[in-house]
Amino acid sequence: MNGHPTREEDFDLFALGALDDGEKQTLEAHLAGCSDCLRKVAQARGRIALLAFAAPRVEPSPELKDRLMRQIHGTAKRDAAEAIGETRPDRGRFGRWWAAVVVPVGAALVFASIFLWNENRRLDQQLARLRTALEQEQKQVEAARSVARLMAAPDTKVVALASMPGMPKGAARVAYNAQMGILVYDGQLESAPANKSYQLWLVPVTGAPISAGIVNSAGGETSYSMMKLTPGINAKAFAVTLEPAGGMSHPTGPQVLVGPVS
Ligand SMILES: [Zn+2]
């Protein structure tokens, strides 16, 4: 095979990686200097890729796999026989013709199911990652919009919280819009003692304090958080208390920061 391959199916076999090593090396060497054959290899690859995409995502039947494997082995054996002087032109011709049909289709189905199975798994994983990233991004955008709406609303109240005597030092601000049910906390506090958490409360005009979550969980740093509460609750004050780690359903510990709504 010093010139162009004489058998058209060699391009398919090559594209499938089904040529034996000697034929493969000869064709590779030839392709380095022949653009015509290079194009034929590209066309063969395209055909196989099309078959791969057109193939249903099923395991090829054992018979098909078997025929494919027999064909590949049979071709190798016959070539070996030719090399030692046994010539069987009729069978050879038939084998090659058969190879042109069975090998590309059969191998394409085998490769297609493996390729598509892998591809599908990869895409599923990629989709899950993208969906998570998108959800996070949507949450951030939504939060940013809420804060922007909150700050722009004329009925939003900004309350300053001051530290109580004998308590950890700090200060905070709460922006709250009762109608929207949105609260933004921005505060700084000394680190909480071990096994304790700072918890923010909305003290309504009537009824028991409502938890607005844990704040300042990283000691010493400014904590910024947005909370969504049930809309329509009028606040008379905001307070931060020291509670067992993780917070409580109602305030049990001392008040650290307090700010009345004016
Ligand atoms: Zn050529």
pLDDT digits (tens, 9 = 90+) for 54-112: 555 445 556 666 666 666 566 555 555 555 554 444 444 445 565 666 666 777 777 77
Q: How far is the CA of 108 from the centre of ligand 1 (A)?
A: 24
pLDDT exceeds cutoff 70 at 164: yes
Q: Report residue 250 CA to chain centroid gap.
A: 39
Q: Report residue 76 CA to chain centroid gap.
A: 44
CA distance 39 to 192: 72
How buried is 1 (Cβ within 10 angstroms: 0-12 exposed, 13-18 middle, 19+ buried)? middle
Q: At a CB cut-off of 8 Å and minimum separation 6, what does 225 contact?
A: 184, 185, 213, 215
Partnered with residue 183 across adjacent β-strands are 176, 227
Q: How far is the CA of 25 from the centre of ligand 1 (A)?
A: 14
- The mean pLDDT of 41-60, rounded to a whole number, is 66
Q: How far is the CA of 98 from the centre of ligand 1 (A)?
A: 23
Q: How far is the CA of 50 from the centre of ligand 1 (A)?
A: 24
- The mean pLDDT of 23-30, rounded to a whole number, is 90
Give me the pLDDT at residue 63, please: 64
Q: How far is the CA of 24 from the centre of ligand 1 (A)?
A: 14
Phi-psi region at 19: left, alpha or beta (left = phi > 0; alpha = psi -120 to 50)? beta
CB 144 within 8 A of CB 240: no
